[in-house]
A = this chain, B = another copy of it.
Amino acid sequence: MKTIDVCLSPDLMHLYQVNNRTVVVVDILRATSTMVTALAHGAESILPLADLENCRKKGMMGYITSGERDGVKVEGFDKGNSPFEYMDKDIRGKKIAFTTTNGTQAIEKSKEAKEIIIGSFLNLSSVVNYLLLGENSVLIVCAGWKGRVNLEDTLFAGAVVDKLKDYLGPDCDAPLAARHLYSMAKPDMQKFLSESSHVKRLNKLNIHKDFEFCLTIDKYKILPRIKNGLIVA
């Protein structure tokens, strides 16, 4: 039987063998939500990069430079990490070089996986349906915050575990914990998350609108995946 597990922080990735698994990388606030939005609006591809300098170099080669550090847009970059910046026609057909505090690091630590897909609430059903039909066991990798566990990524993991509960057995306690938390949060995720550290951090940055948007379920029907180091729809 296929199984499902949840890695609550990239700093726990050494505990998981992923070469036979489909890995779902999730960074709800906001990297993977923004990536999904950009690809849904016609961006050709997204190149995830760990450091700023490589991003800048790609900018000189015609890429759109995107990214944040500690939630704030990088100076000199074309765009930050808000999904609302990726809804215009100007990104259609474009290549994006993307770097974030946590999201790109989670992708980097997942690179031994059999395949990597990009998850967010915005494309939840597309992710769930793909995992259901696929042959592989699953690991959901939560980007967290600088190695720490966060609630919003855990809730996404819980939503996936919940929807697949009749098909994929949990490997360990993390998927159970995530599912319990999601069952509590489900009636009002915004309220449930209002106490969370990252949401408070974002509110200080005046991006409550982003927060609301990133919790929208099934806004887009796309399944971004990583092919040859590039994220494509």
Contact = CB atoms under 8 A, between A and B. Distances in A.
A14 interface: yes
Contacts of A11: 11-12, 14-15
A208 interface: no
Number of chain copies forming the complex: 2
A7 to B, nearest CB: 9
Contacts of A151: 173, 176-177
A15 B146 contact: yes
Interface string A175-205: 0110011001000000000011110000000
A221 interface: no
A8 interface: yes
Contacts of A173: 145, 148-151, 154, 196-198
Interface in A1-44: 8-9, 11-12, 14-15
A71 interface: no
A59 interface: no
A76 B132 CA distance: 48
Contacts of A215: none
A207 interface: no
A8 B180 CA distance: 16
A8 B149 contact: yes
Contact of A176 (B15, B172, B195): B195
A148 B172 contact: yes
30 contacts: A8-B8, A8-B149, A9-B12, A11-B12, A11-B14, A11-B15, A12-B12, A12-B148, A12-B149, A14-B147, A15-B147, A15-B148, A148-B173, A149-B172, A149-B173, A149-B174, A149-B177, A150-B173, A151-B173, A151-B176, A151-B177, A171-B197, A172-B197, A173-B196, A173-B197, A176-B195, A176-B196, A176-B197, A180-B181, A181-B181
